[in-house]
Chains A and B, each alone.
Chain A
Amino acid sequence: MSSLNRGLPSAAFALLVGGFALAFYWAPEDADQGFSQKIFYLHVPIALTAYACFGWGAWKALRLLWTRDRKYDLESYTAIHMGVIFGLLTLVTGSIWAKISWGEWWTWGERQLVLFLILFLFYSSYFMLRYSTEPGPRRERNSAVYALFGVVLIPVSFLAVRIAGTILHPTIFTHEGADLPWQMLVAFLVCLAGMLSLAATLYRVELTGKRIDASLRELRELLA
């Protein structure tokens, strides 16, 4: 295995520990929300990482359709798999934040949460599509097309939730502070880098596992 494969997990670990240390001990406490605002350093990097995973999955899907190279199917699938895990964590951490800030586990006024609910439903359907289609070139292409719809759905839903917020569910609460003090920004960026490295590590581990699974299946078929 390449040195990158060993380096990545260490980097993820160091960045995350360092990032949270900075967030808790160095970055100033938020004027309005106080200590509970610290979950920002967990929630937002996780959400951005989920977007990155969905984007990566769609890029691999596009490569599959372009090149007809079947290896991209597993890569796209694995990236979206990671995206769904981070998406679920976004919902959980967002929900905790909502409970701490406003005393409600769920609020339709919080755009990020609503958006991730839509995406979570969409990508769960992506799994249903894969499970109910015979493995083979047709499934690879159909999954790839659906993954591309996903990345288009993200900005469209973002816009939809935004304009819906103006009328249907007035946005009372917002996490977007006016300007982040630079210490907060630094801590946030370190956390984000850590989260992205963690996702990349998990992606590689999962991809290797799935490849081994696939080879084992082939081997078993050959022996049978």
Chain B
Amino acid sequence: MSAYAADVAALARKDVLLEVRSRDTLPAMLLFVVSALTIFHFALPSGSSERAETGLLWIAIVFTALLGLTRAFAAEREEGVLDGLVLAPCDRSAIWLGKTIGMAVFLVLAEIVALPAFALFFHPLSWELVAAVALADIGIASIGTLLAAIAAASRARELLLPLLFLPLAIPVVIGGVGASIASNPGSFLGFLVLYDGVFAILSWASFEYVVTE
């Protein structure tokens, strides 16, 4: 394993370990997403179409991710650890990749509960929807981690992150909803792959600049 991959693995494993110990983020995400789905049941008039229900699922996914992302750098901020990581000789992008992988793991775990809950409350899921959610996780974690680092340097922090994130999440929702309900899900899944690729590379390349001066 290359030194870079070893750094990334160590950082991602550390994030999972922190979560296992503190249980700050994931339980909150789980409770939030199930609460949101319950609210959606009452927000939708009876007899609403499956398309509307699917749309609401995507709202729940984006906002649950946002909830987790606001906590992305909480542990680092507490005792100034980010400075320590930045001073280490490892590539700064490894810090981003480790955090992104950790974030993606939390998202997947939250959805492992949320998607069956959705199927139970509303209607069965198609494999296209599951694939779209998996692809969306990559893009959301990539961009979200970078934006969380930007927001962490501001005064507004938790308030700023949703503002920075939601305009960039609009294409994810378009791709995700399209893949879930359109007759040609392939092109929407392809779009999500493109989105992930473009923004993951951009976030990877620019992380160094948001944690250094």
* B-binding residues in A (CB < 8 A): 65, 118-119, 121-122, 124-125, 128-129, 132-134, 136-139, 141-142, 144-146, 148-149, 152-153, 156-157, 159-161, 163-164, 166-168
Contact = CB atoms under 8 A, between A and B. Distances in A.
10 pairs of A and B residues whose beta carbons are closest in the complex = A122-B167, A160-B171, A132-B156, A137-B213, A167-B182, A133-B154, A160-B174, A125-B163, A121-B167, A132-B154
Given A133-B155, A145-B209, A160-B191, 4 more contacts: A141-B209, A142-B153, A159-B171, A167-B184
Contacts of A134: 155
A136 B146 CA distance: 19
Contacts of B146: 145
B193 to A, nearest CB: 12
B165 to A, nearest CB: 9
Contact of B167 (A125, A145, A163): A125
Contacts of B178: 163-164, 167-168
5 contacts: A124-B163, A128-B160, A152-B202, A160-B174, A166-B182
Contacts of A161: 174
Contacts of B191: 159-160, 163
SS class, residues of chain A in contact with chain B: helix
B150 A146 contact: yes
Contacts of B195: 156, 160
Contacts of B182: 166-168
Given A141-B210, A160-B191, A163-B191, A129 B164 contact: yes
B35 interface: no
A143 to B, nearest CB: 9
Interface in B161-181: 163-164, 166-168, 170-171, 174-175, 177-178, 181
Size category of the binding interface on chain B? 35 or more
A89 B168 CA distance: 22
A65 B184 CA distance: 41
B133 to A, nearest CB: 17
Contacts of A153: 167-168, 171
Nearest to A143: B150
Contacts of B177: 168
B198 to A, nearest CB: 6
B153 A133 contact: yes
A153 B194 CA distance: 12
A146 B166 CA distance: 13
B126 interface: no
Contacts of A129: 150, 154, 160, 163-164
Contacts of A137: 213
A44 B130 CA distance: 40
Contacts of A144: 209
A142 B199 contact: no
Question: Could you say which of B146, B150, B167, B182 has the most chain A C-beta atoms within 10 Å of its C-beta?
Answer: B167
B2 interface: no
A124 B182 CA distance: 31
Contacts of B181: 167
B38 interface: no
Given A65-B209, A144-B209, A149 B154 contact: no
A164 to B, nearest CB: 5
Nearest to B185: A167
B209 A157 contact: no
Nearest to A159: B191
